[in-house]
Structure 1
């Protein structure tokens, strides 16, 4: 929580807005794994009462994006190696499908959007602005489902990224070029309306970028084993 502030909210649709704001922060990795969240601090940051914040927290616990440690303690979960592998396997299938549909349905404005996202991400990486780079990476992945007009799939991916956001953020700067290089192949495949190539490219992107995350999780497990001994 420390160091992160939300913009004050208007009073309309507070419940949905609070949920959307906290969910967005999780997806974009603004909270680290194991970060402790308090309803009072979130309410103060959002400029609202505790009730809509409490409701949003409960929904996020149901989404498995947060964990209830005790009556007063809510934390961002620490994803295990096994859980990460399962989520990645699901992402490979679902985001592969999104990429295929994007290649089949993309219009000129969609291709231009993907191109712009890559260019902005290149600038963020050059500036070592990892928070912006991470946000642009997430936007690129979600854009494929949007371009493919897959509303249900977009919702499923949103829930997966709720869990993955903090973990990806932890490792994004270590991934370097692996976090963006395959986006060019995705773009080329979408431009050429080559659904097979688009699927292969996004699978390569998730796999290669995920290798850094796997290394971190293996190291964390080894450190835990050493402490136990």
Structure 2
């Protein structure tokens, strides 16, 4: 019975961690924000214990900060740190898309086209909808590489930079008009063009960086 209770608690902790990761990736949590365990538990309809355990797991992966007084904080990402993460993303995501380009089938291409349409529609709705559609497209793409360890590393980087996108929420006009390279990427995947696919992934990363760079520099 004890082992069953422990397994159930671990499962709940993982679910809470997943919800918090999603919130971080989508920029729903502002850099510097203090996360209150009791409030999160109430919002998710769970007890405090799995929330606290999930927060500690995120601290261990450097997705959150913790103060000596055990307060959990959403970290602020400096321009230099964001640039470093973007460089690493180019390497890891380029590796993933190379493998995908070699192995993706018609069903996979069809699914990516559907997610592309979802992204275009999201630009008429909200910043959160855009960021969610963007995440869904790219995570589906990377999952086609069937490299779970690589996928885990990519997700960790998205979790770390996600809070920076909170600054885009008041700038819906800019986000709704932002360019995208999904057409170019899908065309390269269709043609089995590894160099073209990697170039499209790199362009997407740098487009994100350019948008945030203006925020960092107060433009």
Between 1:85-94 and 1:13-22, the stretch displaced more is 13-22
Match of 2:132 among 126, 132, 135: 135
SS in 1 for 2:66: strand
Residues 9 and 50, structure 2, Cα contact 8 Å, conserved in 1: no
Residues 38 and 48, structure 2, Cα contact 8 Å, conserved in 1: yes
Residues 17 and 54, structure 2, Cα contact 8 Å, conserved in 1: yes
Please give the residue correspondences for 1:29-68 in structure 2 after superposition, counting only pairs within 5 Å: 29-68=27-66
Question: Distance between the aligned counterparts of 2:167 and 2:147, measured in 1?
Answer: 29
Residues 83 and 209, structure 2, Cα contact 8 Å, conserved in 1: no
Structure 2 unaligned regions, length at least 5: 1-7
Question: Distance between the aligned counterparts of 1:93 and 1:155, measured in 2?
Answer: 14
Q: Give me the CA root mean square deviation.
A: 1.9
Question: Distance between the aligned counterparts of 2:159 and 2:130, measured in 1?
Answer: 17
Residues 102 and 147, structure 1, Cα contact 8 Å, conserved in 2: yes
Aligned partner of 2:104 in structure 1 is: 106
Residues 127 and 168, structure 2, Cα contact 8 Å, conserved in 1: no
Aligned partner of 2:163 in structure 1 is: 166
SS in 1 for 2:218: helix
Aligned partner of 2:186 in structure 1 is: 187
TM-score by length of 1: 0.85
Residues 29 and 165, structure 1, Cα contact 8 Å, conserved in 2: yes
1:17 aligns with 2:15: yes
Aligned partner of 2:141 in structure 1 is: 144
Between 1:20-29 and 1:131-140, the stretch displaced more is 20-29
The Cα of 1:176 is off from its aligned counterpart by: 4.4
1:210 aligns with 2:209: yes
Residues 24 and 163, structure 2, Cα contact 8 Å, conserved in 1: yes
Residues 27 and 162, structure 1, Cα contact 8 Å, conserved in 2: yes
Aligned partner of 1:123 in structure 2 is: 121
Question: Distance between the aligned counterparts of 1:97 and 1:13, measured in 2?
Answer: 31
Please give the residue correspondences for 1:80-91 in structure 2 after superposition, counting only pairs within 5 Å: 80-91=78-89
Question: Distance between the aligned counterparts of 2:126 and 2:20, measured in 1?
Answer: 22
TM-score by length of 2: 0.88
The Cα of 1:72 is off from its aligned counterpart by: 4.5
Aligned partner of 2:26 in structure 1 is: 28
SS in 2 for 1:110: helix
Question: Distance between the aligned counterparts of 1:201 and 1:133, measured in 2?
Answer: 19
Structure 1 unaligned regions, length at least 5: 1-9, 221-229
Question: Distance between the aligned counterparts of 2:34 and 2:97, measured in 1?
Answer: 35
The count of aligned residue pairs is: 209
Change (3 A) 1:177 1:200: farther
